[in-house]
Chain A
Amino acid sequence: MALGLRDGAASRAVYLAFCAFVFVFLVAPILVIVPLSFNAEPYFTFTEGMLRLDPDAWSLRWYEALVDDVRWSRALVNSLGIGVAAALLATVLGTVAALGLSSPAMPLRRLVTGILISPMVIPVIIAAAGMFFFYSDLRLTQSHFGLILAHAALGTPFVVITVTATLSGFDRNLVRASQSLGAGPLTTFRRVQFPLIAPGVLSGALFAFAASFDEVVIVLFMGGLNQRTIPRQMWSGIREEISPTILAAATFLIAFALLFLFAVERLRSRTR
C-alpha cells in the first residue's frame, strides 16, 4: 500500500498533493494551449474577455488562418506522406528482423540488438549532420525519398522493440505444430505467427509513424522548401512569426496524439 499509511493522514495528504502537482505539471501545459487557440486577440495569454466568457473574446480566426495558409496544408501532406512511407518501410524491415532476433538460434544477439536500437539512442543532431553530408553526396537531400529513408531508420528501433516484446509471449510450439502439419515457413508465418503478433506490428508501425511525424532535426538539415513538414512549420512558427496560428496547429496535433495514444493502448490490451 501507499507509503504513508501508518503515520496518519497528514503525510498521506502531502504525498497525494505532490502526486497531483506532478500530474498537473505533466498535463496542464498541453491543455492550456487548447483554449488559447480560440483567442480573438493575437496574444499568448488569456484576455479579460476570455475569462469573463465573453463570446466576442473567443474566435476561430486562427483556425481559419491555419486552413487558409497553403504552407500548413502542404506541410500536412508532406508529413503524412513521409510518415506513412517511412513507417511502412520501418515496419516491414523491423518485423522481419524481430522474427530473427527472437529466435533462440540467433547468433550475436546482443551486438545486433545494440546496432538495431542505436538510431533511438544516438543524438539526432550527430545523425542529422552525418546524413546531410552522405545524402547530399547521393543527391538525396531536399528530396522526399531521402527523408523517408532517414525517418525509416529512426523508426525501426520502435518496431523491433514492440514486435520483439509481442514475440516474447509467443508460444513457439505453435510454429512446430504448424510445421508438423505440413505448412512451410511462409504459410506458418502468414497463418499462425502474423495473426498473433499483428497487434504488436501495428503498434510498432504507429510508433514509427509518430517518430517521423514528430521529427524536426533531420528535416531542418536535409529538407528543402518542398519538404517542409508540420514540425518544421511549427519550428519556423515559434522562431520567426510567433502567432496563435501555431496554437491552432498544436491543438490539432494534441487531438492527433490522443487518437494515437488510444489506438496503441487498445492494441496493447489485445496483446495481453
Chain B
Amino acid sequence: MTTGNVGPPTRARLRAAGLTLPLVAFVGFSFLFPLGTMLSRSVYDPLVADTLPGTLALLEEWDGETLPGEPVFAAAARELETALDARLAGRLGGRVNRVASGMRTVIVRGARAAAEAPAATARETLIGGDPAWGEPATWRAIRAAGERFTARHYLRALDLDRDAGGSIVRQPEELRIYVPLLLRTLMVSGAVTLLCLLLGYPIAHLIANSPPRRARWLILLVLVPFWTSLLVRTTAWIVLLQTHGVLNSLLVALGIVADDGRIAMIYNMTGTLVAMTHVLLPFMVLPLYSVMRTIPPHFMRAASSLGANRRQSFLRVYWPLTLPGTAAGSLLVFILAIGYYITPALVGGSSGQLFSNMIAFHMQTSLNWGLAAALGGILFVVVGALYVVYDRLVGASSLKLG
C-alpha cells in the first residue's frame, strides 16, 4: 500500500496501527466476540435440528395435514431415545415448547416411552407415551422448531406472532409485553435525562462561575458520588426511602405524615427514578461544566449592556453556547440509562423494572436464551444507534472522565 505524497509515511501508519492491535484483539476476543455469539443465538438455534436430523429430513416430505407414516415415527422414536440417553430430552422439549406450549411433556413422555416401553410399532410406542403424538399439530411443532435459523425470537421480542397461515400478525393486546416495556424504558431514560439536566445545569453553572478554589471543592462534591460504589449509593437510597427509613421517619416525626400513612417511595418506579437520577447526575454535570468553563463571563455582561434582560441574555447567548455540553451530557445519560440493570433490580420493585431486567429474567429464570438474545439484540441496536449519534455529535474520543 502506498500513500504517495499525501499523509504520513506507511511505516508510521503501520506502527500506530500495530500499537493499537493488541488491545483491539483483546477487546475483540474478550468482549465483542462473546457479544456477537450471544446475539447470534437470537436467530440461530441448532439444538432441535442436531438432535432429530433423521426425523426432520423425513418430515420435509410430509404434507402437514395427515398423520406422518411409520418411518417418521420410527426415526423419531430412535432419535428421542438417543436424546434421552444424552440427557437432552428436557431441553429438546423446552425448545419445541416455545413453538407450541404443552409440547415439553409430550416430547419427554415420548422419549421415555421409546426408551422404556417399546410397542409393536414406533407409532404405538409414542402414542402410548402421550396421545398427542397422534395429532398432526405435534409434528408441525417439531418441524417448526427444527429450523436452524429462526426469526421466532425476534418476532416474540417485538410482540409479533405468526398466524395459522404463516403471516406475521401482532399479538393480542393483553400478550404484548416487550414493546411496551421498551417504550417504558425509553420514557424512564428520557425522564431521568431531563431530571439530570434540570438539576445539573444550575450547579454546573455555579461551579463554572466560582473562583478556582471554591470550584475545586464544589466539583469534589460531584465527584464523591461518581466514585462511590453503585451498590453503596443504591443502599443509601434504600436506607433513606424505605417505609421505615430515614425520610419517612422524619416526615412522621415532623407530623407531616401519619405513622400508618408512610409513603411508598421505593421498590416502585419512584425509587428507580430517584436512584437512577442520583447515579447518573455526575455524567451530566461534568460535560456541562467543561463547556461552561470556556464561556467568558463578559459575554453575558455584553448582552445585558446591549439591553437584553436576564431571560433574553440567557436564552439567546448563554444557552446556545452551552448546547454542545447539554447534548453531550444528555446523550451520555440517556445511553447509560437505557441499559441500566442493577438499580432497577434492587430498588425498582415490580413496577420499576426496565428492559435489561427482562433480559436478565430470560437469561437466569425462564432460561429462554434465544429470546434473551433477541431482546439483547434490540437493546444493542437502540444503544448502538445512539452511540453513533453521540460519536458524530461529540466524538467518542472526547469522552471525559471526572
Contacts and interface: CB of A to CB of B under 8 A. Distances in A.
Contacts of A134: 33-34, 37-38
B232 A221 contact: no
A173 B145 CA distance: 65
A32 B19 contact: no
Contacts of B369: 133
A107 B150 CA distance: 38
B34 A158 contact: no
A149 B29 CA distance: 10
A123 interface: yes
Contacts of B359: 125-126, 129
Q: Is the interface of B mostly helix, strand, loop or mixed?
A: helix
B98 interface: no
Contacts of B39: 126, 130
B20 A112 contact: yes
Given A104-B8, A134-B34, A250-B236, A112 B24 contact: yes
User: Size band of the A side of the interface?
Assistant: 35 or more
B86 interface: no
B385 to A, nearest CB: 12
Contact of B24 (A116, A247, A268): A116
Interface stretch (A57-65, A66-74, A234-242): A234-242
B339 A122 contact: yes
A218 B34 CA distance: 13
Contacts of A22: 199-200, 202-203, 281
Nearest to B346: A238
A38 interface: no
A190 interface: no
* Range for the number of chain B residues in contact with chain A: 35 or more
Contact of A133 (B38, B227, B318): B38
Interface stretch (B75-83, B118-126, B373-381): B373-381
Contacts of A139: none
A123 B236 contact: no
A160 B23 contact: yes
Contact of B338 (A25, A123, A164, A217): A123
Contacts of A121: 335, 383, 387, 396
Contacts of A250: 229, 231-232, 235-236
B293 to A, nearest CB: 13
A181 interface: no
Interface of A: 1-4, 6-7, 11, 15-16, 18-19, 22-23, 25-27, 29-30, 32-33, 36, 43-46, 93-94, 96-97, 99-101, 103-110, 112-127, 129-135, 149-150, 152-154, 156-158, 160-162, 164-165, 207, 210, 213-214, 216-217, 221, 230-231, 234-235, 238-239, 242, 246-247, 250, 253-254, 257-258, 260-261, 264-265, 268
Interface of B: 7-9, 12-13, 15-24, 26-28, 30-39, 41, 199-200, 202-203, 205-206, 209, 218, 220-225, 227-240, 242, 244-246, 249, 278, 281-282, 297, 300-301, 304, 309-310, 314, 318, 335, 338-342, 346, 356, 359-360, 363-364, 369, 372-373, 376, 379-380, 383-384, 387, 391, 396-397, 399-402
16 contacts: A4-B310, A19-B206, A36-B246, A45-B249, A100-B19, A117-B399, A121-B383, A123-B379, A132-B363, A133-B369, A149-B30, A214-B229, A235-B231, A235-B342, A246-B235, A258-B224
Given A125-B356, A250-B231, A264-B227, 14 more contacts: A23-B203, A25-B281, A26-B221, A93-B22, A97-B22, A103-B15, A117-B396, A126-B379, A131-B31, A217-B341, A235-B346, A246-B235, A253-B229, A253-B231
